[in-house]
Chain A
Amino acid sequence: MNTRSTQKTRAGSTLTAIIAGILIFGFLFFITIPLAALFTRVTPADFVTAITSAAAMDALWLSAVTASISTVIVVVLGTPLAYVNARVAYRGRDVVDTLTDLPIVLPPTVAGLALLIAFGRNGLIGQYLDIFGISLPFTTLAVIISQIFVASPFYIRQARSSFEAVDRDYESASRTLGESPLRTFFRVTLPIAAGALLSGIIMTFARALGEFGATLMFAGNFQGRTQTMPLAIYTTMQSNMNVAVALAIVLVVFSFSVILTVKYISGRGERNA
């Protein structure tokens, strides 16, 4: 009796293992095949020709510059908010939190539309900017604004939880040793949270780099001015497939390295703590 039930369990667990294996490998196959297909589409020589074409070089350069600038702006604007939300339990904090998270789930086209209605020539704010002769839509600045709007939650979420993870006693110790709250933040809180913050910065940069929908609607698609890599892929796909594939490969490789780096940083952080 006892033996039979043991055998039954053993057979059952083998079956479970086989089914789980099929599901796991099926899923990995599904993810890997399209990505691998990109790499089979071009020869290395074609890749070099395509990536050095004017359209590709313009897009690479524009993407690198705009994503860097928007990441810096997100960090400068987002850090105080993330810190306050981590430390101060004020009324309405959940609403503010939800608001800053919203762009993560919002379709980028909604973001693009909202930005147009706000900053467009006849927009809520745009009409006043127009008086001073400033027009945001279809400029490089519009690209940066789109990226900030869409990518900021990635930093702010991560920054809030990194600050929450810093034991308040460190800050209290710094205060009793004679440092002001501001200097305590820069000498103690920031260095302790640095690893986790870096993960957030990298994720934000990667998200800004991949921004497509909001940019297309708010900034348009002009080579060298607003045509970032995702837009260039979309455009060149119809005329020069090799350029599209080459840019896609660059984005895949970069994104893969980004996530791997972030995993490494956060893993190291956990081991230190």
Chain B
Amino acid sequence: MLESRFNSALRDFVLDVEELNVEDGKTLALIGSNGSGKSTVLKIISGIIKPKSGRIVLNGKVLCDIEQGIFVAPEERNIGYMFQNYALFPHMTIAENIAYGLEARKMPKDEIDSRVSELCERMGLSSIMNERVTKLSGGQRQRTALARAIAPRPGLLLLDEPLAALDVRTQEQMRRELASVIRTEGIPCIIVTHSIVDALAVADSMAVIDNGKIVAAGSPEEVIHNPSHGFVSSFAENLNLFRGEVLVENGGTVCVDIAGVKVRAVTTLSGTVSVGIRPEELIISREKFQSSAANAFRGRITSIEDNGSYAYVYVDIGITLAAAITKRSIERLQLEVGNDVTLTFKATAVQVFV
């Protein structure tokens, strides 16, 4: 169990976290846009940055209490930290990276070896465990970084944008693996992300951070479906988040019924689910065209929202979906509010979660 409150000021950025708690064995997703202060939160909890004031208690042990002059060094905190860029030691192999924290704890050699091979096996890294990490693919780096962070069985696991550095296809798979690893290890966990989809895939609770302040916290349900703060609702709106009912059709393909609109998806879940369709995965065309994508709907453009180099085009197909399109495409297709268009997207572009 983690209980914390702290604040810090770096140059002109003020971070003020009044309360951030994680229950035993639970996962908290901390969501925020770039520059909201979410990575700083992890650096403060892990002890890399000393807060100006505050108190951090992990499993009954006071790690930091500025008022009482207590500040435990990061190496004494037993907190696993997976960095956004992974920070794998480039002069070491996969196995050496994973063993690093175990060696630091002076664990006997044979115990280190068995823990490292156990983790390599679980992460599918056994065949390459003696390769230098500089040669690895994004997914392999991600798994190595995760294995390194959990190897010493930390009391708390901090994951900074664990999926951001991966391509979309690898993200799919890693999102599922990450969720399974977190549940198996039973380590309380804070996952920092700017993606609600990632957060929903792994989180038991959710906190939204904006401009250095926690603006919403609670269960994923509460945070997303009762958005009390403008920032959260804008966050949820543009992500095409819906609740729906899974219908199994003949031939094994799955359909999610969202307010009468049947969207094809890939999932093993059933019953009532949450559905997210990333705006950048939607293709807008004037006419319907033949394609391998499982979903194609006719609809009418209800609004176009300028967003710099690209724009959100809202299309009503029974439900309103936002599609992120470059401005050049809008000009080329001469899209205007009121036009009838076709929305096309793959079944794998539809994220289904509990």
A residues lining the B interface (CB < 8 Å): 167, 169-170, 172-180, 183, 187-188, 191-192, 194, 272
Query: Chain A residues near B79 (CB, 8 Å)?
Result: 176
In the bound assembly, the distance between CA atoms of A186 and B74 in angstroms comes to 17
- Across chains A and B, which 7 residue pairs bring their CB atoms closest together, nearest first? A178-B104, A177-B101, A169-B87, A175-B74, A176-B81, A173-B87, A191-B91
Interface centre among A170, A191, A272 (most CB of B within 10 A): A170
| Residues of chain A within 8 A of B81, CB atoms compared | 172-173, 176
A184 to B, closest residue via Cβ: B75
Contact indicator A176/B91 (Cβ below 8 Å):
no
CB distance from A74 to the nearest CB of B (A): 24
Pairwise interchain contact A177-B104, C-beta atoms closer than 8 A = yes
B82 to chain A, nearest CB (A): 9
What 0/1 pattern do residues 41 to 74 of B give for CB contact below 8 A with A?
0010011100000000000000000000000011
Give chain A nearest CB distance to B137 CB in angstroms.
17
B270, CB-defined interface residue at 8 Å: no
Bound: A167/B83 CA distance, A: 12
Which chain B residues border A178 with CB–CB below 8 Å?
Answer: 75, 78, 101, 104-105, 152
In the docked arrangement, what's the CA distance between A272 and B43, Å? 28
Contact status B90-A173, CB under 8 Å: no
A229 to B: closest C-beta gap in Å: 36
Most A CB within 10 A of own CB, among B43, B46, B74, B77: B74
* B85 pairs with A175, CB closer than 8 A: no
For the complex, is B148 an interface residue (Cβ under 8 Å from A)?
yes
In the bound complex, do residue A175 and residue B48 qualify as a contact, i.e. CB atoms below 8 Å apart? yes
Of B48, B75, B83, B91, which is within 8 A of A179 by CB?
B75
Partner of B104 from the list A170, A183, A192, A272 (CB cut-off 8 Å) is A183
A sample of 28 inter-chain contacts (CB < 8 A) reads A167-B87, A169-B83, A169-B87, A172-B74, A172-B81, A172-B87, A173-B83, A173-B148, A175-B73, A176-B46, A176-B48, A176-B74, A177-B100, A177-B101, A177-B152, A178-B78, A178-B101, A178-B104, A178-B152, A179-B75, A179-B100, A179-B104, A180-B73, A180-B75, A187-B100, A191-B89, A194-B91, A272-B134
Residues on A with beta carbons closer than 8 Å to the beta carbon of B148: 173, 177
Provide the residues of chain B in CB contact with A179, threshold 8 Å. Answer: 75, 100, 104
B105: chain A residues at CB < 8 Å are 178
In chain B, positions 70-117 with a C-beta closer than 8 Å to chain A are: 73-75, 77-81, 83, 85, 87, 89-91, 100-101, 104-105
Write out the residue numbers on chain A whose beta carbons fall within 8 Å of the beta carbon of B134. 272
Q: 10 other contacts beyond A178-B101, A187-B100, with CB at 8 A cut-off? A: A172-B83, A172-B87, A174-B100, A175-B74, A176-B46, A176-B47, A176-B79, A177-B75, A180-B75, A188-B89
